[in-house]
Amino acid sequence: MGTVLVAATVVVAAMMLISGYRMVAGPTVFDRIIGVGVIGTKTIILLALVGFLYGRVEMFLDLAVAYALLNFIGTIAISKYIERREVAK
């Protein structure tokens, strides 16, 4: 079971790298915002997997929920900022 969790963790980390490319090379600002959001979502999954690996699921899931809230609020804040900047032009 441990090797399956390690393999899943490696796959999720690789998917984060792919999303990181979209975040850096995105042709528009919206592609970059989506890239950051996807990386945040994969981080939540990664925290849950690490919690299972260390046998401390409750602690890591609490961290994952807190990170999910920060990720959501940050994405909304950046989207509102860009929307207001576009309207002002």
- Using an 8 Å Cβ cutoff, are 36 and 21 in contact? no
Structure-token pair, residue 22: 């979209």
Query: Tell me, what CATH number does 44's domain have?
Result: 1.10.287
Q: Could you tell me the residue range of the domain that residue 50 belongs to?
A: 2-88
Dihedral sign (CA 73, 20, 15, 27): positive
- Using an 8 Å Cβ cutoff, are 75 and 35 in contact? no
- The tens digit of pLDDT for each residue in 26-81 reads 888 888 888 999 999 999 999 999 999 899 899 999 999 999 999 999 999 998 99
What is the domain count for the chain?
A: 1
Q: With 80 as the cut, is the pLDDT of residue 2 above it?
A: no
Structure-token pair, residue 80: 């509102």
Question: At 46, which amino acid appears?
Answer: L
pLDDT of residue 66: 95
Report pTM. Answer: 0.80
User: Please, which residues have CB within 8 angstroms of residue 2's CB and are 6 or more apart in sequence?
Assistant: 53
